[in-house]
């Protein structure tokens, strides 16, 4: 047995003892494998396009959760980061001719700076004030975009960006891979010491301050990190659609991201991602299905809103936490999660029933 054998055995052991014992981890594994293997089975142009957009919006929704879910800084204007990054990326690509792998990171830096600019006035605000104030920023910027059409392209936006990569399949792997990496990064951030402080700020900011933590700095950090991830999504979107327009700043997009995130389940990171992966393709399927009934009026958004309302009535915490609590129980003694069918904890053998 050489070194590869050791690694292989270790991987198998981790799989058996840590992943296969919990249905939620199995689901994540299946999801990742399915996402990566999908182009082997179909390379349908439209199908991949839907999934690419889903991945982009999944990054976007998770970044909202990082700021609003974990830190409790309810952001109603999250489209600002997305839109600014899209415009920065587009301007860098069109005016300076930078390729996507430079313009998208720089666009994300634009998102970080926006996070700083918005974050500083918002630090003094709390709760509903903060939510309603953040709503204002993208609308202000939309007005400016319309007022200076020479630079921003006005209503039509900036079109004709260079393609993300050469082919659709490469686009797919880039966006879904980035989605997995960034989603994992965000999840890791929320699990780290910083993440715990952010979580504590949401629960009781005064207590955190009393414990000697500079909460101002951490809240600004949350704004910047969220701006960065949303900025990556905005840049990817601009290059994929080859267009950066005022639609990226719309109130509708800000509301949409909140709907995705809360539908999937806030304060989880994977909840919003799952929310996008359920709702966005579902809307596309509905579009295709409804196209076969041209006599029906445009009821897609109506169905969407109704679905969200009904889901919330029965699972106000969001879909994913509800499902997770159904299929897993937490051990009362050692706080390790177990499959619902077990009667004794898999680690400490405590009675679960």
Query: Does the protein bind other proteins through residue 209 (CB under 8 A)?
Result: no
Binding-site member from 159, 299, 334, 348 for other proteins (CB under 8 A): 299
Q: What is the distance between the alpha carbons of residues 237 and 222, in angstroms, rounded to a whole number? A: 22
Buried b (16+ CB within 10 A) or exposed e, 119-132: beebbeeeeeebbe
Pair of tokens at residue 202: 């949401």
Interface with other proteins (CB under 8 A), residue from 304, 322, 346, 347: 304
Find the binder of other proteins among 97, 99, 121, 332 (CB under 8 A): 121
251-264 helix and 300-314 helix, angle to the nearest 10 degrees:
40
Closest CA to 93 of 234, 260, 227, 205: 234
Smaller CB distance to other proteins: residue 14 or 296?
296
Nearest distance from residue 266's CB to other proteins, in Å? Answer: 6
Residue 298 touches other proteins, criterion: CB under 8 A: yes
- Closest contact distance (angstroms) between CB of 134 and other proteins is 10
Q: Hey, what are 273's tokens?
A: 């991602």
Residue 24 vs 133, nearer CB to other proteins: 133
| Contact status: 289 vs other proteins (CB under 8 A) | no
Among 7, 46, 101, 302, binds other proteins (CB under 8 A): 302
Answer yes or no whether residue 301 interacts with other proteins by CB under 8 A: yes
User: Please, is 83 exposed, middle or buried when counting C-beta atoms within 10 Å of its C-beta (0-12, 13-18, 19+)?
Assistant: buried
Comparing CB distances to other proteins, the nearer of 295 and 341 is 295
Distance CA 95, CA 101 (A): 16
CA angle 91, 94, 98 (to 5 degrees): 90
What is the C-alpha to C-alpha distance for residues 154 and 142, in angstroms, rounded to an integer?
A: 9
Q: How far apart are CA 33 and CA 74, in angstroms?
A: 33
Q: From the CB of 341, what's the least distance to other proteins, in Å?
A: 29
Does residue number 266 form part of the binding site for other proteins (CB under 8 A)? yes
Q: Does position 282 bind other proteins by CB under 8 A?
A: no
Binding residue for other proteins, selected from 97, 127, 177, 332, defined by CB under 8 A? 127
- Closer to other proteins by CB, 97 or 316: give it: 316
Please, which residue, 13 or 126, has the CB nearer to other proteins? 126
Radius of gyration from C-alpha coordinates of the chain: 22
Listed in sequence order, the DSSP H helices in 1-75 are 3-14, 23-41, 45-64
**Considering the rule CB under 8 A, would residue 89 count as an interface residue with other proteins?**
no
What token pair was written down for 285? 């399927």
Among 62, 131, 186, 273, indicate the residue that binds other proteins (CB under 8 A): 131
Closest to 120 in 3D by CA, of 206, 208, 219 = 219
CA-based nearest residue to 174, from 39, 284, 4: 39
User: Could you say which residues in the range 225-254 bind other proteins, by CB under 8 A?
Assistant: 251
State which residue, 74 or 180, has the beta carbon closest to other proteins: 74
| Site residues for other proteins per CB under 8 A | 74, 121, 124-129, 131-133, 135-137, 139-144, 146-147, 251, 255, 258-259, 262-263, 266, 297-299, 301-302, 304-306, 308-309, 312-313, 316-317
């Amino acid at each position: 047995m050489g070194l590869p054998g050791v690694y292989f055995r270790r991987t198998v052991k981790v799989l058996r003892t840590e992943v296969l014992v919990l249905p939620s981890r199995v689901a994540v594994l299946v999801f990742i494998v399915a996402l990566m293997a999908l182009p082997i089975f179909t390379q349908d142009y439209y199908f991949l396009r839907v999934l690419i957009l889903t991945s982009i919006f999944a990054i976007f929704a998770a970044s909202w959760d990082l700021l609003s879910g974990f830190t409790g800084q309810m952001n109603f204007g999250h489209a600002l980061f997305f839109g600014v990054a899209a415009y920065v990326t587009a301007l860098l690509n069109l005016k300076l001719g930078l390729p996507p792998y430079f313009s998208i990171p720089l666009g994300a830096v634009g998102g970080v700076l926006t996070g700083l600019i918005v974050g500083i006035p918002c630090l003094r605000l709390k709760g509903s004030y903060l939510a309603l104030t953040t709503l204002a920023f993208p609308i202000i910027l939309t007005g400016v975009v319309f007022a200076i059409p020479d630079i921003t392209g006005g209503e039509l936006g900036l079109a004709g960006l260079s393609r993300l990569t050469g082919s659709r399949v490469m686009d797919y792997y880039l966006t879904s891979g980035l989605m997995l990496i960034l989603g994992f990064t965000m999840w890791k951030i929320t699990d780290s010491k910083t993440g715990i402080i952010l979580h504590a700020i949401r629960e009781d900011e005064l207590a955190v301050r009393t414990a000697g933590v500079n909460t101002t700095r951490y809240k600004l950090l949350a704004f910047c990190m969220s701006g960065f991830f949303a900025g990556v999504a905005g840049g990817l979107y601009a290059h994929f659609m080859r267009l950066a327009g005022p639609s990226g700043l719309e109130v509708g997009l800000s509301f949409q991201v909140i709907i995705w995130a809360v539908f999937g389940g806030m304060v989880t990171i994977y909840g919003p991602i799952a929310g996008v992966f359920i709702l966005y393709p579902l809307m596309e399927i509905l579009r295709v299905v409804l196209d076969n009934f041209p006599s029906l009026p445009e009821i897609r958004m109506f169905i969407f809103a109704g679905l969200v309302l009904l889901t919330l009535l029965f699972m106000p915490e969001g879909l994913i936490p509800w499902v997770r609590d159904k299929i897993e129980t937490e051990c009362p003694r050692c706080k390790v999660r177990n499959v619902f069918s077990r009667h004794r904890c898999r680690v400490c053998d405590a009675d679960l029933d």
